[in-house]
Amino acid sequence: MKKKIRGWLFGTQAIFLAAFSLCYMLLYFIFFPLYYNWIRDKQISDAYLDIQDLDLGNMQEDDFSAFAIYENDNFSFSIADEDMNPIYTTKKPPEFYVNKNIETKLSSFSRTPEIIRRNSKLKETTKLRGIITQKDIDYYVVIRDNPVHDNGGEITSQFLSGIISIMLVFGLIATWRISRHFSRPIESLVQVAEKISAGDFNTYANEDAAFEEANQLAKSLNQISAQLQESLGQIEGNRKQFIQQNVQQERRDKLQKDFIANISHELKTPLAVISSQTEMIAYAGEDDREYYLTSIQEEIAKITNMVSGLLNMSTIDRQMDNMMQKTLNMKDVLGYIVMKYEGLIKKKMLHLDVFLEDGCFVCGDQEYIEQAVNNYMMNAFEHANMGGHIRLTLKKQKSDIRVSVYNSGQPIPQKQMEQIWNGFFTTKKKNADAFSHVGLGLYIVQSVITMQNGKCGVENLPEGVEFWFTLPEKTQEQD
C-alpha cells in the first residue's frame, strides 16, 4: 500500500522530534556531568597556578581580588604557612578553617597536587591540596569546589549551545535527505509536464512512486498526454485530409475552367459549320442538299460526343470520392478485359501479346481500374497501324504493381507529352480510320489512378508508344 504525503510528513516529523528529544536527553545526562567536571577541574588548576604567582608571604589588598573571581564561581580557599598561621581563607573565622581544612589533614598535601573528587549520598566534593614553597617557606593551599552553592548556569549554557549546534548540523542533513526523498517524485512529474507542454507525448510519468498522491498525479498526466496525443493525431489527420481535399478541389476548379474554355473552343468549329451549311441549303439544289444535311449530321454527332464526354468526366469527378476499395487480383481483372477485345483485334488484323505475372494484388476500385485499362486499350487500338502490335503487360515493380499497354505506331511529339493528359486534348489524324473522340480518355485515366494513390505516364519506345500506370502493392501484412 502506497503512503500518503500528509501521513508520511506527520510520521516523519513525529519520529524526528522524538529522536531529537531522545538524543538531547542522552547527550545531556551522559556527557554534561563529564563536561561540567572537566571545566571545574580546569578552573581549580588555573586557580592553583594563579596562587603560585602571588607573594604569599607579603599579601596585599590587590592580591585578594584574584580570589574573588574564583569565589564568584563557588570556589573556596584556605591558605596557611608551615606554622599554621592563616594567610587567606574564604570563610571566617580563618583559624577555624585552617585547622579544619589544613592542620588536621597535613598528610593529604603534596607538592604535585591532584584533584580529588569524593562522592557522598548528599553531594560530590572536589578538592585540591598542594604545597607551594616560596623563600624556603612552605605554604599549604586548599581549593574546594562547593556544589551546594553551584551556579553552573554558564557551563550549562555552553554545553547546551554545543549540543544544539551539533544536532542542528545533523538535523539539516536529515532534513535535506527527507526533502530529497519527498521531492524526487515531484521533480520527475515536473519534468514530464515540461516535456508534455513542449509537445513531447512519448514520455510517461512513473505511476509506481512511494506516495499515493504522486501516483494519482502521474496517472492524470499520462491520461492527459494520451488524450492530447490522440487529439493532435486526429487534428493532423483532419489537416492532411483538408489539404488533400483542397488540392483536389483546386484541381477540379482548374480543370473545370479549362473544360469550359476547351468546350467553348471545340464547339465553335462544328457550330460554324452547321451555320454555314444551313445557309447553303437555302440556295442549293436538290442534289447538294443531301450533302449539306449529311455534313450537318456529322457535326451534330461530334457535338453529341463532346457533350457526352463532358458529362462522363463530370460524373467521374463526383463519384471518385466514393470509391469502393477492396483487394484485387490484377491478373484476373486484366484477363477478363482482354477477352472483350477479340473482335477489334480481328477487325484491324492486330497482333495482341499478353504477359500477366502471378501474385499481383492491389487495393482499389475494380470498376475504375477497368475503365483506366479500357481507355489505354482503346487508345492503343486507335493509334496502332493496320496489322500492328499491341502488348499488355502486368508485373511487380519494387513495392508497386505496374500495368502497361504498348502499341506500334508513330511516337508522340515531345511537346505533347504533358498535354495529352489534359481534358479535350486530341491528336489530329489524317487517315480515314481515325477514332473520333474529344480527348477525355487519358484525363480519366490520370484522375482514376491518382485518386487511388497511383502514378501514370507514357514513353516513346522503338517503333511504338507505351502507356503505363502503377498502384501500390497489397501485401499480406496490410490485411
Higher pLDDT, 21 or 52: 52
| Residue showing cell 492532411 | 240
pLDDT (tens digit per residue) in 52-109: 888 888 888 777 888 888 888 888 999 999 889 998 988 889 889 888 888 888 888 9
> Looking at the DSSP assignment, which residues form a beta bridge with residue 461?
464
Q: Which three cell numbers stand for residue 30?
A: 551522559
Judge if 344 and 479 occupy the same domain: yes
Q: Which of 304, 319, 334 is the last residue of a domain?
A: 319
CATH code at 136? 3.30.450
Range with the poorest average pLDDT among 19-33, 75-89, 368-382, 447-461: 19-33
What sign does the dihedral 314-254-424-292 (CA atoms) show? positive
Q: 188 and 205 in contact (C-beta within 8 Å)?
A: yes
Closest-CA residue to 251 (of 417, 403, 379, 421): 421
Same structural domain for residues 142 and 46?
Answer: yes
Dihedral angle, C-alpha 375, 378, 382, 387, nearest 10 °: 140
pLDDT tops 70 at residue 148: no
CA distance 470 to 403: 6
- The percent of residues in the chain predicted with pLDDT above 70, rounded, is 71
Q: 243: domain CATH number?
A: 1.10.287.130
More confident site: 202 or 182? 202
User: How far is the C-alpha of 132 from the C-alpha of 146, rounded, in Å?
Assistant: 23
**Residue 156 lies inside a defined structural domain of this protein:** no
- 323-375 tens-digit pLDDT: 678 899 999 999 888 877 777 787 788 899 999 999 999 998 888 888 889 88
Q: Is residue 26 part of a domain?
A: yes
Integer Cα distance of 395 and 153 in angstroms = 106
- Whether residues 120 and 266 share a domain: the answer is no
Q: Which of 4-13, 286-295, 365-374, 428-437 has the highest mean pLDDT?
A: 365-374
Q: Are strands 86-89 and 326-329 parallel, antiparallel or unpaired?
A: unpaired
Q: Taking the CB of residue 304, how many other CB atoms lie within 10 A of it?
A: 11
Q: The whole model's pTM is what?
A: 0.41
Helix H, strand E, coil C: the string for the chain is CCECHHHHHHHHHHHHHHHHHHHHHHHHHHHHHHHHHHHHHHHHHHHHHHHHCCCHHHCCHHHHHHHHHHHCCCEEEEEEECCCCEEEECCCCHHHHHHHHCHHHHHHCECCCCEEEEECCCCEEEEEEEEEEECCEEEEEEEEECHHHCCCHHHHHHHHHHHHHHHHHHHHHHHHHHHHHHHHHHHHHHHHHHHHHCCCCCCCCCCCCCEHHHHHHHHHHHHHHHHHHHHHHHHHHHHHHHHHHHHHHHHHHHHHHHHHHHHHHHHHHHHHHHHHHHHHHHHCCHHHHHHHHHHHHHHHHHHHHHHHHHHHHHHHHHHHHHCCCEEEEHHHHHHHHHHCCHHHHHHCCCEEEEEECCCCEEEECHHHHHHHHHHHHHHHHHHCCCCCEEEEEEEEECCEEEEEEEEECCCCCHHHCCHHHCCCCCCCCCCCCCCCCCCCHHHHHHHHHHHCCCEEEEEEECCEEEEEEEEEECCHHHC
Query: Is position 380 within any domain?
Result: yes
For residues 376 and 5, the model is more confident at 376
* CA-to-CA dists, residue 12 to 19, 173, 179, 181, angstroms: 10, 14, 11, 12
pLDDT > 90 fraction of the chain, expressed in percent and rounded: 14
Q: Report the DSSP beta bridge partners of residue 356.
A: 394
C-alpha 244/C-alpha 43 separation (Å) is: 98
pLDDT top residue among 280 and 120: 280
Integer Cα distance of 302 and 387 in angstroms: 28
Mean pLDDT value across residues 239-254: 76
State the pLDDT confidence band at 182, using cuts at 50, 70 and 90: low
Summarize the confidence of residues 205-228 as an average pLDDT: 71
Q: What is the pLDDT of residues 375-388, one digit of tens each?
A: 898 888 888 888 88
Region of poorest pLDDT, from 257-271, 280-294, 437-451:
257-271
User: Tell me, what's the pLDDT at 149?
Assistant: 40
Domain membership of residue 43 (yes or no) is yes
Residue 403 pLDDT level (bands cut at 50, 70, 90): very high
What would the pLDDT profile of 160-180 be if each residue is shown by its tens digit? 677 777 777 777 777 777 666
Question: Cβ neighbours of residue 274 under 8 Å, at least 6 residues apart?
Answer: 296, 299, 300
Q: Is the CB of residue 113 less than 8 Å from the CB of residue 44?
A: no
Amino acid at the residue 149: H
Q: Is the dihedral of CA 175, 181, 185, 188 positive or negative?
A: positive
75 and 19 fall within a common domain: yes
The CA distance from 212 to 215, in Å, is 5
- Number of domains within the chain: 3
Q: Is residue 159 part of a domain?
A: no
> Comparing 183 with 193, which gets the higher pLDDT?
193
Rounded CA separation 21/29 (Å): 12
Residues 298 and 339 in one domain: no
- With a cut of 90, say whether residue 291 has pLDDT above it: no
pLDDT at residue number 378 = 85
pLDDT of amino acid 320 = 57
Structure confidence at residue 328 (pLDDT): 92
Residue type, 205: A
| Pair (302, 403) in one structural domain | no
**pLDDT, tens digit (0-9, with 9 covering 90-100), for 213-224:** 667 777 777 777
Q: 134 in a domain, yes or no? A: yes
Is there a single domain that holds both residue 51 and residue 136? yes
Say whether both 110 and 230 belong to one domain: no
Name the band, by pLDDT with cuts 50, 70 and 90, for residue 430. very low
Q: What is the pLDDT of residue 432?
A: 37
Residue 427's pLDDT is what? 53
pLDDT band at 151 (very low <50, low <70, confident <90, very high): very low
Q: What is the pLDDT of residue 316?
A: 59
**Amino acid at position 328, single letter:** L
- Flag the least confident range among 131-145, 240-254, 304-318, 402-416: 304-318
Show which of 94, 123, 151 is a domain's final residue. 151
**Measured CA distances, 142 to 45, 117, 134 (Å):** 12, 13, 16
Q: Looking at the structure, do residues 345 and 300 belong to the same domain, yes or no?
A: no
Q: Find the domain containing 241 and state its range.
A: 200-319
Given a cut of 70, is residue 211 above it in pLDDT?
A: no
Does the pLDDT at position 206 exceed 90?
A: no
